[in-house]
Amino acid sequence: MIRLDDRPLDWREVAQVARGAKLALGDAALQRLHDARRIVDRIVDDGTRAYGINTGLGALCEQILAPQALAALSLNTLKSHACGVGAPLDDELVRAIMCTQVANYSHGKSGITPALVEGLTALLNQNLIPVVPARGSVGYLTHMAHIGLPLTGLWQLRSGGIVQDARQALMDAGLAPLSLAAKDGLSLVNGTPCMTGLLCVALARAERLQKWADIVAAMSFEALRGQLAAFDSDALALKPHAGAQAVGRNLRALLDGGALLQASQGLRLQDALSLRAIPQVHGATRDQLAHVARQVNIELASATDNPLVTGTPDNYRVMSQANPHGQSLAFAADLLTIALAELGGIAERRIDRLVNPLVSGLPAFLVEDSGVNSGLMIVQYVAASLVAENKVLSQPMVVDNYVTSALQEDHLSLATPAALKALQVIENSERILALEYLTAGQALSFHAPESLACGTRAALALLREHVDVYTEDRILAPDIAAVTAIIQGEEGIGRVEAQLTAPGQSAPHRLD
């Protein structure tokens, strides 16, 4: 159970809710919601002109609306903005957005009706997931409109993969449709929860992937009989980037005690950069991820509605501003995309070295009877294809711009499509790492198992539970899918860590 109360959520907690953890609103958060709502009600009673509370939206912001029209404005806002296109987002991503919405409202600066926030929480906790088309947002509006509509009994909800009419799904779950009041529709589509939630999931997947990158790279390094001097702690200390230091520690733990590598020292003066520079390249990716995580946590601590309300019903302030603009997160999403594409890029270079007999010292394409067998030749082609796709996807989106709403919204962050693009690059890079895992495991089969380091031997044993050694050609697609599932799963890293020993300790070494 993740509890929202006296402090903001961090990205890890949002990722937990995205994966199925329940969310609860504490007393302090509920009090903030009620206090802010009383301010909105007072604004309506006073007739004070306030954007989106008693005016039209966007380019229609100068149109003053009568009090009796404000509920209709809220519902019409959801209806008109629910125009997403494409395949729906999966449950994990929608849950992340919903959790981040609740977190944003809980700051008590939006003035949304508290029952709607409790309704979103109820949908999360009963795993009733709005159907949200993935495409069509320049910032956040369409995705969040599709999430808000089911609270009113409109649109669709999905549970266990089954899609139902929202009103029927609410009834089956013992929930009632909710009515909207002034500002509710705007608050339900506004702010940065969409892009923030997506990036929380992206960070969770990226953090797992960066550990797998170190594990799989260690296997390739060992199979190619790399020179350990490149990972020497004294050498790396002279370039003290935090990421490189962490990767160096991981590699030394993973490769500790391997007789094969000990016997290979001095085989060459130094290795190619795809092997020698693993700490520097993987480490640089880690440093960018740390920056993205800071940006996301700041956003989770921010109030990103427009307008925002502060003070008390007797002494309030309504602030029209641009906190919903997602520029920081657009930069973060583009940076995350580039950083993860680089993990895939260097992995493809190691795959190429593993299958190339001119540099590997191993049988051509890692199969004994080559010629009649092609072995893992085409695995490298697949990796190259995914790397090429990542290159295109890594073009920054934040520098692009369009004009919407009749010149009123004339600078757009495009942070939500940037976050979706980052997720696609992560998926591609997971597959590239799976291809390297498959290839490195086959390469290690040409070395005596007892000569391998503890960490790489554990990773190889896990691989062999799902994929047999190749002695002749067979259909590779099922094996690639099985290894990708290991990379995308939650258990594999712990299996490897259990076989590592921290220097000077008997406890298992946890990968940084």
Q: Is the pLDDT of residue 137 over 90?
A: no
What is the domain count for the chain? 2
If you average pLDDT over residues 74-100, what whole number do you get?
A: 96
Are 285 and 340 in contact, with CB atoms under 8 Å apart? yes
Same-domain status, 214 and 320: yes
Q: Which of 134, 157, 190 is the last residue of a domain?
A: 190
| Contact between 496 and 250 (Cβ < 8 Å) | no
- Structure confidence at residue 60 (pLDDT): 66
CATH code where residue 331 lies: 1.20.200.10
Domain assignment of residue 380, yes or no: yes
Q: Rounded CA gap, 294 and 134, in Å?
A: 25
Is pLDDT at 129 greater than 80 in this prediction? yes
Question: Do 291 and 207 fall within a single domain?
Answer: yes
| Paired strand residues for 64 | 55
Claim to verify: residue 132 and residue 227 sit in the same structural domain:
no
For the chain, the average pLDDT equals 94
User: Rounded to the nearest 10 degrees, how much is the dihedral formed by the CA atoms of 379, 382, 387, 393?
Assistant: -150
Q: Do 176 and 229 belong together in one domain?
A: no
% of the chain exceeding 70 in pLDDT: 96
Instruction: Say how far apart CA 57 and CA 39 lie, in whole Å.
Output: 20
Residue 508: pLDDT band with limits 50, 70, 90: confident
Q: Residue 162 — φ and ψ, nearest 5°?
A: -100, 125
Q: Same domain for 173 and 249? A: no
Query: Confidence band (pLDDT; 50, 70, 90) for 139?
Result: confident
Torsion-angle region of 257 (φ positive above 0: left; ψ -120 to 50: alpha; else: beta): left
pLDDT bucket at 108, cuts 50 / 70 / 90: very high
Specify whether 395 is located in the same domain as 300.
yes
What's the gap between Cα 12 and its chain centre? 10
Burial of 2 (0-12, 13-18, 19+ CB in 10 A): middle
400 found inside a domain: yes
Between 193-223 and 327-355, two packed helices, what is the crossing angle to 10 degrees? 20
Summarize pLDDT for 212-265 with one digit per residue, the tens: 999 999 999 999 999 999 999 999 999 999 999 999 999 999 999 999 999 999
Residue 60: domain span: 2-190
Q: Which of 165, 190, 215 is the last residue of a domain?
A: 190
- Contact present, 306 and 369 (Cβ < 8 Å): no
- The whole-number average pLDDT for the span 448-472 is 96
In a domain, 507, yes or no: no
d(CA 456, CA 229): 18
C-alpha to C-alpha distance for 405 and 205, rounded to whole angstroms? 35
In 3D, which of 185, 265, 200 has the Cα closest to residue 227? Answer: 265
In terms of domains, do 169 and 241 share one? no
Domain assignment of residue 465, yes or no: yes
pTM above 0.75, yes or no: yes
Lowest mean pLDDT among 269-283, 342-356, 365-379, 433-447: 365-379
- Residue 178 is predicted with a pLDDT of 98
Do strands 85-88 and 133-135 pair parallel, antiparallel, or not at all (unpaired)? antiparallel
Co-location of 186 and 206 in the same domain: no
| Domain finish residue from 141, 162, 190 | 190
Helix/strand/coil percent split, the chain, to 5: 60, 10, 35
Q: Are residues 177 and 234 in the same domain?
A: no
Q: Are residues 273 and 166 in the same domain?
A: no
> Which one, of 367, 376, 352, 489, lies nearest residue 438 by Cα?
376
Cis amide prior to 357 (ω within 30 degrees): no
pLDDT of residue 504: 61
Predicted local distance difference test score (pLDDT) of residue 457: 97
> Is residue 119 predicted with pLDDT exceeding 70?
yes
Residue 339 and residue 205 share a domain? yes
CA dihedral sign of residues 135, 136, 139, 145: negative
For residue 60, the 8-state DSSP code is: G
101: number of Cβ within 10 Å: 31
Express each pLDDT in 461-481 by its tens digit: 999 999 999 999 999 999 999
Residue 313 included in any domain: yes
143 and 206 housed in the same domain: no
Strand partners, 409: 404
